[in-house]
Structure 1
């Protein structure tokens, strides 16, 4: 048993924790499930109550391979694994990251970090808590109510101090480490007593708890007729939120009642070193009958193992964090200890476990992002047993899954992998951190930190960082390191590297007797998948100026801003310049309606297409003459959609504002802003892109547009996979791969709250739309292109254009079952130009909004800045370039027909 919250001893322990231990807390909180309910008065029951019986679990077979193992600090290593599973007969793979902590190492420890400043009822990202507390690695932690004040569902001990007690819920396991460094995974209940000055006693139901629906007891409500303690770690004035009954509260300072408030909460936060007793019903009556200002109050409490029924003094623990179901026991998949229906699916996952000998703790995070498919719970069980977990439990996962670690020789943590929301980290209530207390050792090694890939012209600064014998960072800059490069692809001076030409070099730095090297690759055009210009279309008007930032995507998937010095610009149809990232049109050539500003990076091209009407304003909501209405798919969802004033950020402008409330709905829920009833508003011509200004609400919901095309098909266009911003933001959406048959109509703009991970997204919010624009080349850059029909026969040196025969100097041919046609005569008939570069053997084709780069003998080609591949390559015949017929039909916007009997190709526009 533990005596707590009594007099000076309690005050000193709190103060000591505030100044020392609290600074070392690591917060890893888990995504909340909305299970906390009002104390009295709610008929709704929590999803946690659906099924409390153990559910048999059979681990799904996985193939697991370790990819890497890196030291974080003495006693802790980061291991990355690749796993492969079979799902519905198909193979799926992903990545998992495991921090293995060696409890036999005296310099490494685990502890729970909490909110901001080590307090409950505040929230912070895992990375933020790690930075605040000095953790060298951390992961998100316990489940919490996303609509509550911000407290964990499970019990919590931080720095040896009880922070929160377990909730009375069946099958909810916890992980703990004792002060003698032994790991524990068990299911705990809480038992406590409060004693008044006259010797009367009343059961203590818990410490620092939000309201919830208990299981397995006599009460439906956690705080009904119950007595709770709230310490100075609980910063919110609500103790707890959503309390339907009137409380009685008493402030206890130095073990003595100093304030007593009957049938009303004290209007204060808990003072440092003090605590507030809060009672409802029979507990409130006890307080008024037996507590008096000036009289002492004491309490005793303990944790009870539900497995052994033995009492555990929380003061014997260094740390404890709550979780959900047990996953692994005795090295095998365990039956789930409670229903997992609310957390099933293939998601990012977080888990904890330890080895059979109790030496190692495994902190596990499964990735779900562009590189990884996530795991089911049964797959997670299999993974854990594969890596040596003897006993393990599930922590909160999904969108909360976040891991940070400190790379070797670095001084701060970084994201170990992208979350389900990219680099966005959810704010959570607690987490688990890894700490080091090792003294400074001698220099053990040094490493070079900096980019491993550069673009031509890019400058980058590299630093030399060291680590000591305990693998903690140590300053080596005082050694005046020297730098050199093994080749001339880069130049280097005092750690600043300038990329000169494509190639790979070894960058070497030396400090004292230690040296380090790293490979640096300067990327060439052949290393890129795409070049994208921030403004792909522009007005073809003298004096027009547009921003033209260029971004490269490498074949490895990395996105890099291209330095202006690395680009060579060519202007077709006008005279202009590019300076400081801006394209300016000086003059337009006579008779030209479409111009091209072509940017090349080491030969790889992209272009701005300039035309008399580049981007067509579609709706700015200033003079809307058709109805706009709010609709939804789900009963209980409410909202409004209307044209309103733009507010402070859009003064004098009107916008389409949509507010939604999905709290009474269920399943996959939609909030629509619908245009012109069921008719929508017309998009009159082929659109290659769409831009729209959006005011986000950081709800983490999904935003889309619904378009019905000319064939009657409905096309759903993603505006934003995740609304992860607030305020106004301009979105640009590429429509070229959407398959829309124009003309079309835009019917609705809408927000989706998907069912999977629904607890992680806001169910209420307000978004707004403005300045919707479509780029419609057929109204501009392709408006003047010739229409008609051209026919050519295999082996014949004539072409028939709109009924008139013309001679050509090279005939179409069939080679390796592919038909080739001379590109020059196709362009003569249907508009466009082709230029030949004999040095690079490259053909540049310009037609309307299309910029096509072909290379003789190569199947790969570049269309409007994107690398693609054809089945066959262009070839040279009798001094003329012949291109595969499929390229003509698919990439230049022409229709091709083949007549087998006459071996005739007919091309139409």
Structure 2
């Protein structure tokens, strides 16, 4: 059915604004870039790749979000690969729940917002990210969009781009749609409409190079930006229409203002602009006819018959089976976080699907996603935007707000996108059905948690519980209860119980111990060893599950070696320094797990500020078609008064492969980092390209070391980056050879291929500069079973001989430290040896293969042992971690140690 009207509807979107007719734009682009900077599709359509290995989907858990919507968590296994997936199943026949499409901030296009932000603004109880969009354009979706029963955008003229829709009677559909429409002047003359609210793009299957060439588009008040659109390669003639009447015509120039509610702008160019000139005048009426058209059946669909529509990419599942891809998918290949939507065979259920990609989940290929969808009951479904855009939020039972269902590829950060598919509760207020305890499920020792009793009604929506005053208690002494607040006392698991009348609710709370910690990082890793020094020493714990937590001061125990001091409110103050001490240690322990601040005469020093560079700097790459430039230039912004190293790059010649753009120092030689550095700090001007930023070093052993400066360049302007080098095991002195931008092939379409980054004020923290210089050097020889050590040719008696056990040499570490400098401390209750040498602190525990080095847990093949009443440590492990070289002669059963 065609829709004919004066362009002045009164329907309202989520935010209550009177959108006129609103459209989509923006696309995942593949192939060479044309004049307008947007690549186009090349080559034949790909076929679906069916995974060769058998796969299975196992449901791990299920929870109710609201009446008619449940969240299901799955583990998907393909061979040895395991991936996590999350599915929100929505009952389209349940009157208490509905789907709808949310748009940007306040419901506007060109105002990107995160999925969670849109859910919060619109009151959704769950949501997933939506359509593809051109990350370099203003921010409008690629496909068609209907929100709240109102057409918000039209499909782009692109091949194989499917959409998901639900009619107002709750019938789902997945199809490929086009737009058909025209506007009519008061004199009866008509002109074809190309679409509504579109970003500039390259149409496919037409003779037109540019989407807006010789075309007419409608832009409504839902288009926030004044430019309609940017980078269109066309000069517009624009017509303002209010209440169906022309109020302004701007010939060959845009109307420089936002579109008021109840109005729209007809944006024309070329032949369309000539039509305006010959047929339209201020004061005349304007009407339009338009419809959506199914490419498969040719049937016209009245947008008013739809409740929602959201665009996507290729079809994935058809008739319950993996479908051939309807579009080239080379740019969205690999194993990624992914988002999809589909429906069941009987049309009752919609499935909102998001897969995870992180250290605990491998992500999925498109073929695996197809297999997963068919296994959980999807009859027909399509691919939505994925990779870094993949996001799911849901409202936990009895909670008021949504939270991330799982971490995105950026951690807890959510990418700002153009639209999202939301789940909304339409249920009336129900009676109290149940309640639960809500609060922190994990606590650090010394940390205080707050717990509340939260209720939900018969529709599983939250209920106000302020009038309920429960009694709180704990199952054991791991946590101490005071009202609804608890304080973690010792590691272990406790049950917090809330009792109100005859009802009660419980929650398991884990108090994390040192064994749950993967690393402790101190805010200041090095400081001057001088009386009066005061530095901030906040401690952050990274847990074994990857989560980071600030450690409260009450949970830490501090120990000072070589000086007297104190830590108050997160600040370390040195009161006095011991005589002849060249290096001091401030050791912080959380439940035995340690990190250290190294205090010495050295500290952070500027290594390169690019003011007087005497060596060559040049650009290089791994792909011949990639171009760029690296040079020292005058800075900009906050670095306008200094010289900086600027790296410009154009990676368009490397599409489809991993591309590197290098700023190379001193040709292939690099510049020397003279001494052991524990941290690197530098200022970087970002380009928001979402590319990867790294540095390449060559250490004193000839090993190449790749240092991550930033996993994602997600900022513009200058930013200070701090990088912990202690875990890279760099043998100093080392050479910093080059800094570079990486654009990997997976998800390449999501990142910019051209850009510019700048570097300035590179600093290294070298706490071992003075301490290592004063440490003894030379060669020591020890023989298995002999109570002697030869140091630089001089034999010295030792009280315990080295032993050989299962191919590992064990010694009392004291003898090595006596020879090469350092000290060891034994904690009998913890069965722990603490070893200090130069800028290194090691904690080793008898019987445990894991050890802690400068705040990081590291796995080893062997553990310390007790033999003959003495604690012995693995010689090679400890010596090499302390910067010593160890060689074993099996014929003479001797160990040679060199420094």
Interval of TM-score (by shorter of Structure 1 and Structure 2): over 0.9
Deviations 1:167-211 (A, max 9, x none): 222221111100101001111122223222222333333233333
Q: 1:835 to 1:512 in 2, by over 3 A?
A: same
1:829-840 to structure 2, matched below 5 A, reads 829-840=819-830
2:769 to 779, 782, 787: 779
Instruction: Give the TM-score normalised by the residue count of structure 2.
Output: 0.93
Counterparts of 2:542 and 2:13, CA distance in 1: 49
Is the CA contact 1:645–1:654 (under 8 Å) kept in the aligned structure 2?
yes
What SS does the aligned partner of 2:247 have?
Answer: strand
- For residue 85 of structure 2, the aligned residue among 91, 96, 100 is 96
How far apart are 1:347 and its partner, in Å?
A: 1.8
Are 1:75 and 2:68 counterparts? yes
Deviation at 1:400, TM superposition (A): 1.4
User: Which residue among 876, 880, 883 is the counterpart of 1:886?
Assistant: 876
Shift in Å, 1:642: 2.4
1:421 to 410, 415, 426: 410
Supply the distance in 2 between the matched residues of 1:798 and 1:674 (Cα, whole angstroms).
Answer: 50
Q: Contact 1:37–1:242 at 8 Å: present in 2 too?
A: no
Partner of 1:656: 644
**Matches of 1:228 and 1:716 in 2, distance apart?**
49
CA deviation digits over 1:785-827, x for unaligned, max 9? Answer: 2223333333333333333333333322233443322333222
> Quick one: which of 297, 301, 323 aligns to 1:308?
297
Structure 2 gap ranges (5+): none
Going from structure 1 to structure 2, the CA distance change for 1:223 and 1:542 (only over 3 Å counts) comes to: closer
- Distance in 2 of aligned mates of 1:268 and 1:525: 60
Match of 1:151 among 129, 134, 140: 140
2:359 aligned partner: 370
- Matches of 1:397 and 1:419 in 2, distance apart? 10
Equivalent in the alignment of 1:410: 399
Within the candidate set 3, 8, 11, 1:11 is matched to 8
After TM superposition, the structure 1 = structure 2 runs for residues 308-387 of structure 1, keeping only pairs within 5 Å, are 308-387=297-376
Give the Cα–Cα distance (whole angstroms) in 1 for the partners of residues 507 and 537 of structure 2. Answer: 33
| 1:270 and 2:259 matched | yes
Contact 1:80 1:96 in 2 (8 A): yes
Between the aligned partners of 2:99 and 2:22, the Cα distance in structure 1 is 8
Deviation of 1:244 after TM superposition, in Å, equals 3.4
CA deviation after TM superposition for structure 1 residue 19, in Å:
5.9
The whole-number CA distance in structure 2 between the counterparts of 1:657 and 1:581 is 36
Mean Cα displacement is larger for which, 868-877 or 820-829? 868-877
Structure 1 residue 501 displacement after superposition: 2.0
User: For 1:852-908, what per-residue CA distance to the aligned partner results, in whole angstroms no more than 9, with x for missing partners?
Assistant: 223334444333233334444434445543323333433333233333333333333
- What is the aligned partner in structure 2 of residue 64 from structure 1? 57
CA distance in 2 between partners of 1:245 and 1:645 (Å): 34
Distance in 2, matches of 1:371 and 1:462, equals 29
Give the distance between the partners of 1:636 and 1:664, measured in 2 at CA: 7
SS of equivalent residue, structure 1 residue 731: strand
Does residue 166 of the first structure (1) align with residue 166 of the second (2)? Answer: no
1:33 corresponds to 2:28: yes
How far apart, CA to CA, are the structure 1 residues paired with 2:894 and 2:15? 87
Structure 1 residues 195 and 811, CA, compared in 2 at 3 Å: closer, same or farther?
closer
Aligned-CA RMSD value: 3.0
Deviations 1:631-669 (A, max 9, x none): 555646445642535744x68x63525263537554344
Instruction: Find the aligned partners of 2:812 and 2:159 in 1 and give their Cα distance.
Output: 76
Which secondary structure state, in structure 2, belongs to the residue aligned with residue 13 of structure 1?
coil
CA distance in 1, matches of 2:830, 2:198: 71
Normalised by the length of structure 1, the TM-score is 0.92
**Correspondence 1:554 to 2:551:** no
SS at match of 1:451: coil
> CA 1:72 to 1:248, structure 2 compared with 1: closer, same or farther past 3 Å?
same
In structure 2, distance between residues paired with 1:592 and 1:31? 64
CA distances 1:685-722 after superposition (whole Å, capped 9, x unpaired)? 33333222334443322111122334555432111111
Asked if the contact 1:36/1:213 (under 8 Å) is kept, the reply is no
The aligned residue for residue 42 of structure 2 is 50
Shift of 1:129: 1.3
**2:475 counterpart of 1:486:** yes
Structure 1 residues 329 and 21, CA gap change in structure 2 (3 angstroms)? farther
CA contact (8 A) 1:658 1:767 kept: yes
**8 A Cα contact 2:557 2:590, kept in partner:** yes
State whether residues 34 and 147 of structure 1, in contact with CA within 8 Å, keep that contact through their aligned partners in structure 2. no
Contact 2:618–2:663 under 8 Å retained in 1:
yes
Structure 2 distance, partners of 1:286, 1:521, is: 71
Structure 1 position 320, deviation (Å): 0.7
Aligned counterparts of 2:275 and 2:790: Cα–Cα separation in 1 = 103
**Residue 795 of structure 2: aligned partner:** 805
Counterparts of 1:465-480 in structure 2, within 5 Å, are: 465-480=454-469
Give the length in aligned residue pairs.
894
Q: Is the 8 A contact 1:127 1:138 kept in 2?
A: yes
Partner of residue 895 from structure 2, selected from 892, 895, 905: 905
* 2-structure distance, mates of 1:863, 1:664: 43
C-alpha change, 1:252 and 1:896, in structure 2 (3 Å) is closer
Q: Is the alpha carbon distance of 1:249 and 1:848 closer, same or farther for their aligned partners in structure 2, counting shifts above 3 Å?
A: closer
Q: Is the 8 A contact 1:353 1:390 kept in 2?
A: yes
1:289 equivalenced with 2:282 (yes/no): no
Residue of structure 2 equivalent to 1:790: 780
CA shift for structure 1 position 629: 5.1
How far apart are the structure 1 equivalents of 2:541 and 2:345?
A: 49
Looking at structure 2, the residues matched to 546 and 166 of structure 1 have their Cα atoms a distance apart, in angstroms, of 58
Q: 1:430 aligns with which of 419, 423, 427?
A: 419
Partners of 2:542 and 2:708 in 1: CA distance: 21
> What secondary structure, in the 3-state scheme, does the structure 2 residue paired with 1:236 have?
coil
Aligned equivalents of 1:247, 1:602: Cα separation in 2: 68
| TM-superposed deviation, 1:108 | 0.6
Counterpart-to-counterpart distance in 1, 2:881 and 2:233: 66
Deviation at 1:828, TM superposition (A): 2.0
What displacement does 1:385 show? 0.2
Deviation at 1:165, TM superposition (A): 1.4
Gaps of 5+ in 1: none
- Provide the C-alpha distance between the structure 1 equivalents of 2:202 and 2:390, rounded to a whole number of angstroms: 26
Give the alignment of 1:572-611 within 5 angstroms.
Answer: 572-611=561-600
What are the equivalent positions in structure 2 for 1:355-754 lying under 5 Å apart? 355-621=344-610, 623-628=612-617, 635=625, 637-639=627-629, 641-642=631-632, 644=634, 647-648=637-638, 654=642, 656-658=644-646, 660=648, 662=650, 665-667=653-655, 668-710=658-700, 712-754=702-744
Distance in 2 of aligned mates of 1:169 and 1:907 = 68
Q: Distance in 1 between matches of 2:683 and 2:265?
A: 49
Aligned-partner Cα distance in 1 for 2:622–2:383: 34
Distance 2:671 2:457 in 1: 66
* Whole-Å separation in 2 of the counterparts to 1:319 and 1:130: 16
CA contact (8 A) 1:5 1:255 kept: no
Q: Distance in 2 between matches of 1:336 and 1:562?
A: 49
Structure 1: how far apart are the matches of 2:38 and 2:687?
A: 27
* Equivalence for 1:862: 852
